[in-house]
């Protein structure tokens, strides 16, 4: 059964994915590395994890999977 994540958490993970991909295309970009760190902190400190949801590796993997799927739907619709 898939977890249900808050929309803002999924959106932050989508931003993280886009930033990571941009950094992979143009390495040595300090601004992108800083943004990636900021987004990583926002994801790790999101209230969802402290609300009894469990901060397990499986939950983080599912969050990334859902964010990638949402990003692919967005890219396919554009």
pTM of the model: 0.86
Which has the closest alpha carbon to 9: 77, 62, 76? Answer: 62
Q: What does the mean pLDDT of the chain come to?
A: 90
Per residue in 2-37, pLDDT (tens digit) is 788 999 999 999 999 999 999 999 988 999 999 999
If one compares 77 and 22, the residue with the highest pLDDT of the two is: 22
Average pLDDT over residues 46-66: 86
Residue 53 binned pLDDT confidence (cut-offs 50, 70, 90): low
């Amino acid at each position: 059964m898939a977890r249900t994540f808050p929309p803002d958490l999924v959106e932050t993970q989508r931003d993280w994915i886009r930033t990571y991909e941009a950094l992979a295309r143009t390495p040595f970009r300090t601004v992108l590395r800083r943004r990636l760190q900021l987004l990583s902190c926002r994801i790790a400190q999101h209230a969802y994890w402290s609300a009894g949801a469990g901060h397990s590796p499986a939950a983080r993997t599912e969050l990334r999977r859902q964010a990638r799927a949402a990003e692919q739907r967005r890219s396919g619709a554009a």
